A = this chain, B = another copy of it.
Amino acid sequence: MYKFVMPEVIFGSGSISQTGECCARLGARHVLVVTDQGIMDAGWTEQVLKSCRVAGLAATLFCGVSVNPTDDEADICTRVYQENGCDAIMAVGGGSAIDIGKAAAVLAANGGHIRDYEGVDRILHPLPPLVMVPTTAGSGSEVSQFSVIVDSSRRKKMTIVSKSLVPDIAVIDPDVLATKSARLTATTGLDVITHAIESFVSVAATPMTDVQAKNALMLASRYLRPSVASKYNREAKEKMAMASLQAGLAFSNAILGAAHAMSHTIGGRYPFLHGDINAVLLPHVMEFNFIACPDKFREMAVLMGEDVTGLSDIAAGEKAIQSVRKLAVDIGAPLTLSEMGFEAEAIAEISEIALTDACMITNPRDISAEEVAVLLTRALS
């Protein structure tokens, strides 16, 4: 027996102009718009604020979201929400802005510190209306029941999982992807690939998540290269937006695996981009997980366009791993942890903490701290 839950989705070019009306439909009168400086500069925040005005809504802006957002940012965001008498939250940005928007909603409705909600199903009171507008393809947070926030006292990314965190409406406008740099397109695209692959091999995968994960992997492996190549390839942007959405639906309901568990741990300590860490770790985690489900690896190879005719599951599955490596190389993603500034001395501690991340539970192969350390060492250089 399993559950599948998702928000209402509005998808397509120009849909950002519907955001105000979406909030109004949910009963909002005064929207807190959560965003970051890059999105402000690109002009998307202004479009959302305009849509609020057109819908007759008051709006307050919170622009203090960082790359790996923290509990302190969540507290400040909550205060801004409360002091301005807001009654709904709209986040416009990547996973960071959306996760802070969710965290502020939790705190506004439930009080306390965001640390109190770490883990699964600890949110008691219903959240204010949430409309999420992703600007990267991407985190998938606009459809997921996750929020990942750094606990600054422990320097650890906390994973908060609750059905309450599924937004009411996700408004996905592929046009916003045209202002992303190639660098950010590559790193967020590899996050999509990681979501699709980890949720597909997750021990909590279901037929409902499989259709989403498989389609996401097929789309992302086909359209990430051209999307990185050109800001103006609208077809590639639209397909990557769909891949991100579907990968988000898959992992929201099937959870993830060891790559994300390690990535959350590293991201709590280092200012690296989440997608970069995943990109480096994913092939190593795939090699480790391979023996858990060679048949699924074969399927992944086919989805990524590999010809596996006449190959055994083992040989076919290896092609899936090669295909992921090749993609990372082609789009200029980082290939080692050390080039990002990660140091071997941290491995022992990171390995212990990573084991406690909620995403480790659904990894398809049992794993020990020693094995995590081996994977991190392989990923170093």
CB within 8 Å of B: which residues of A? Answer: 1-6, 8-15, 18, 163, 206-208, 211-212, 215, 242, 245-246
Contact = CB atoms under 8 A, between A and B. Distances in A.
Contact of A12 (B1, B5, B13): B1
Contacts of A4: 8-9, 11
A206 B206 CA distance: 23
Most buried by B among A2, A13, A207: A207
Contacts of A208: 9, 11, 242, 245
Nearest to A5: B8
Nearest to A173: B1
Contacts of A12: 1-2
Given A5-B9, A211-B212, 14 more contacts: A1-B10, A1-B13, A1-B15, A1-B18, A2-B10, A2-B11, A3-B8, A3-B10, A4-B8, A5-B8, A8-B163, A11-B206, A211-B215, A211-B246
A206 B10 CA distance: 11
Nearest to A6: B6
Nearest to A7: B5
B6 A11 contact: no
Contacts of A11: 1-4, 206, 208
A264 to B, nearest CB: 26
A13 B212 CA distance: 22
Contacts of A215: 211
A200 to B, nearest CB: 14
21 contacts: A1-B10, A1-B11, A1-B13, A1-B14, A1-B15, A2-B11, A3-B8, A3-B9, A3-B10, A3-B11, A4-B8, A4-B11, A5-B8, A5-B9, A6-B6, A8-B163, A9-B208, A208-B245, A211-B212, A211-B215, A211-B246
Contacts of A246: 211
Nearest to A25: B163
Contacts of A207: 242
Contacts of A206: 11
Q: Which 5 A-B pairs have the closest CB atoms?
A: A1-B12, A4-B9, A5-B8, A1-B15, A211-B215
Nearest to A206: B11
Nearest to A3: B10
Contacts of A1: 10-15, 18
A180 to B, nearest CB: 20
A245 B208 CA distance: 10
Contacts of A242: 207-208
A226 to B, nearest CB: 17
